[in-house]
Chain A
């Protein structure tokens, strides 16, 4: 149990376009979801925390207008990278908590490349 999926696993987009990444909890209701960013050969940095039905809380230095997060249901959170630039290229990982588990379950990640 406690499986988290992400879609797509890889995406290439052109500079200036927007791209949406989905994070789903497949077998539990995720009251809280987290979005992380990982640069090559670096650690994971928390970008934002989203609770179902409310606005996301962004970490310092993360532009909320650039990285739009929506947590519209207990099983789905989306991260939209707006007007993407090459420097947004990164590995984005989501995680989810809920279902009575005090545990954070990670998705498989999405590799974004902006050309």
Chain B
């Protein structure tokens, strides 16, 4: 069975600090996808990134970066120089290969990030 763990329930940082959100996953599949979503107070999920299991390159997008390590089954997310607008709940998610995509799409419990001015 698939499982996503986000050990940090809540994190508070002061603006401009860097913060890393942890994500550890479990799956028996060799082909799978990992995701990060942001959920601001409005509730709408904002897609941040998708990574397939064969691509272990780290990715950087502006202040966001992701570290995918298959050896430790982790897909951590770092926000550099955090801003108040980054305050939200962040979900890590895992899906099997696309032919079973949605039916096996599992969200982690989420990490609530508060960035204080």
Q: Do A and B come from one complex?
A: yes
A interface with B by C-beta (< 8 Å): 32, 34, 41-46, 49, 57, 91, 93, 95, 97, 102-109, 111
From A32, A45, A93, A109, give the contact of B102 (CB < 8 A).
A32
Additional 8 contacts, C-beta under 8 A, given A42-B110, A103-B50, A106-B44: A34-B102, A44-B91, A93-B43, A93-B45, A95-B102, A97-B101, A104-B105, A111-B43
Return the CB mask of B41-66 against A: 1 if under 8 Å, else 0: 01111010010000000000000000
Tally of contacts, chain A with chain B, CB under 8 A: 46
B105/A46 in contact, CB under 8 A: yes
Contact between chains at B103 and A57 (CB < 8 Å): yes
**In the complex, A107 Cα to B44 Cα: how many Å?**
7
Total interface residues on B, using CB and 8 Å? Answer: 19
When distances are taken between beta carbons in the complex, the residues of chain A under 8 Å from B102 are 32, 34, 46, 49, 95, 97, 104
